[in-house]
Amino acid sequence: MTSLTINGETHEVDAPDDMPLLWAVRDLAGLTGTKYGCGAGLCGSCTVHVDGKPVRSCQVPMGDVKGKDVTTIEGLHEKGDHPVQVAWREHNVPQCGFCQSGQIMQAAGFLAENPKPTDAEILDAMAGNVCRCGCYQRIVAAVRSAATGA
């Protein structure tokens, strides 16, 4: 058994060290907000925070997160009112919604490091997250809004 801290709660999971964090979060801890997209770390749908930094959970083995804090979309804010989540709603970002938890987690981690980014910095930070519906203009607008509080 491995002890894993997710969203501030300890979960005892029966997972080998080489199991991707994504499967421990979804299948063993039952937190299904984090999505499986490509399995290769290219689309960003599985983005979570490990010790506050955005990572692709499909590429992070369980052995690498021992003793670290994992935050999923369910733990970003207890009421869903993180500034990025608020901006997402205000800008009606989602279309199908599949990629949105990864997009939000990437944006929240980025803004924690760079609270006043330029549009070019937003585009660069969000470039690794794919939205197949093409909601990129609304995503950038929401990240900008979350950064400025407007």
Quick: pLDDT tens for 96-106.
999 999 999 99
Hey, is 48 helix, strand or coil? strand
Domain ranges of the chain: 2-75, 83-148
| Predicted pLDDT of residue 135 | 94
Name which of 14, 19, 28 is nearest 58 in CA terms.
Answer: 19
Distance CA 94, CA 144 (A): 16
Structure-block tokens of residue 41:
């770390």
Contact 23, 70 (CB under 8 A): no
- Fold match flag (2-75 vs 83-148): no
Options 3.20.20.140, 3.10.20.30, 3.40.1390.10, 3.40.640.10; CATH for 2-75 is: 3.10.20.30
Contact 134, 119 (CB under 8 A): no
150 band by pLDDT with thresholds 50, 70 and 90: low
To which H or E segment does residue 120 belong?
A: helix 119-126
2 band by pLDDT with thresholds 50, 70 and 90: confident
Distance CA 5, CA 68 (A): 7
Quick: pLDDT tens for 101-126.
999 999 999 999 999 999 999 999 99
Architecture of domain 83-148: Orthogonal Bundle (1.10)
Predicted confidence (pLDDT) at residue 148 exceeds the cutoff of 90: no
Backbone torsions φ then ψ of 54, nearest 5 degrees: -65, 135
Tell the residue number behind the tokens 């990240």, with chain if given: 143
Distance CA 97, CA 113 (A): 25
Quick: pLDDT tens for 135-147.
999 999 999 999 9
Predicted confidence (pLDDT) at residue 87 exceeds the cutoff of 80: yes
